């Protein structure tokens, strides 16, 4: 059975989250401003940054990221 591709907006969200927990800046967004893709990426980045600021360790964030990928 073939796997379906994951929803592209979800993938961009995950990429943003990954960027945030790696400690990179919001300005590293690879998408053009004011597009759906940049909004999803920024939303993921903000959640990742918020998780780090809330005291989650990088390993907990990685675990959350794994769950996000599996549940997509």
Domain assignment present for 14: yes
Domain assignment present for 18: yes
Quote the number of domains for the chain: 1
The boundaries of the domain holding residue 47 are: 8-70
Element (H, E) at 51: helix 36-53
Domain assignment present for 2: no
SS3 state at 10: helix
Domain assignment present for 37: yes
Q: Give the integer Cα–Cα distance in Å for 24 and 19.
A: 6
Which among 22, 59, 54, 53 is positioned nearest to 14, based on CA atoms?
A: 22
| Whole-angstrom Cα Rg for the chain | 12
Domain assignment present for 1: no
pLDDT digits (tens, 9 = 90+) for 11-63: 999 999 999 999 999 999 999 999 999 999 999 999 999 999 998 888 888 88
Confidence band for 67, pLDDT divided at 50, 70 and 90: confident
Angle, CA 5 vertex, CA 11 and CA 47 arms, to 5° = 15
Domain assignment present for 35: yes
Query: What pTM was computed for the model?
Result: 0.84
Domain assignment present for 25: yes
CATH of the domain at 33: 1.10.10
- The single-letter DSSP state of residue 27 is G
């Amino acid at each position: 059975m073939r796997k379906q591709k994951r929803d592209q907006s979800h993938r961009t969200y995950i990429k943003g989250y990954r960027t945030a927990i790696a400690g990179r800046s919001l300005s590293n967004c690879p998408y053009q401003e004011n597009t759906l893709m940049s909004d999803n990426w920024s939303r993921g980045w903000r959640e990742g940054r918020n998780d780090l600021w809330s005291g989650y360790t990088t390993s907990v964030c990685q675990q959350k990221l794994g769950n996000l990928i599996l549940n997509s």
